[in-house]
Each structure stands twice: as structure tokens, then as C-alpha cells.
Amino acid sequence: MPKVALNAAAPEFTLTDFRGETVRLSDFRGRSNVLLVFNRGFT
């Protein structure tokens, strides 16, 4: 995964939520808060 520079806009991406609906980062543009959680396996 490429690193994102500090103070730079996050790259656009699309994911499927727990209901199976497609969600894009741009869907949240203009909102004051966005929480991203990246779950990685523990080894």
C-alpha cells in the first residue's frame, strides 16, 4: 500500500460496507469527520 504524505488529500477509494453497499471516500466530502479503520491480522 502506498504511503500518503502528511497534509495531502487522501486518494479516492471504493469499498463495500457490511450491508453490501458500495461506499466511496468522496461520498463523505464536506462532512466534518471521517473515521477510517484498517484491520490487520495479528501475527
pLDDT for position 6: 86
pLDDT for position 42: 66
Q: Quick check: is 43 in a domain?
A: no
Residue 5, Cα to own-chain centre: how many angstroms? 15
First and final C-alpha spacing in the chain: 19
Q: Quick check: is 21 in a domain?
A: yes
Gap between the Cα atoms of 10 and 13, Å rounded? 9
Q: Quick check: is 42 in a domain?
A: no
pLDDT for position 23: 94
pLDDT tens string for the chain (43 positions)?
A: 667 788 888 889 999 999 999 999 899 888 887 677 777 776 6
Total domains in the fold of the chain:
1
Residue-number span of the structural domain to which 24 is assigned: 1-33
pLDDT for position 11: 85
Q: Quick check: is 41 in a domain?
A: no
pLDDT for position 1: 62
Q: Quick check: is 26 in a domain?
A: yes
Q: Quick check: is 40 in a domain?
A: no
Residue 17, Cα to own-chain centre: how many angstroms? 11
Q: How many residues does the chain have?
A: 43
Taking alpha carbons only, the member of 23, 39, 21 closest to residue 31 is 23
pLDDT for position 8: 86
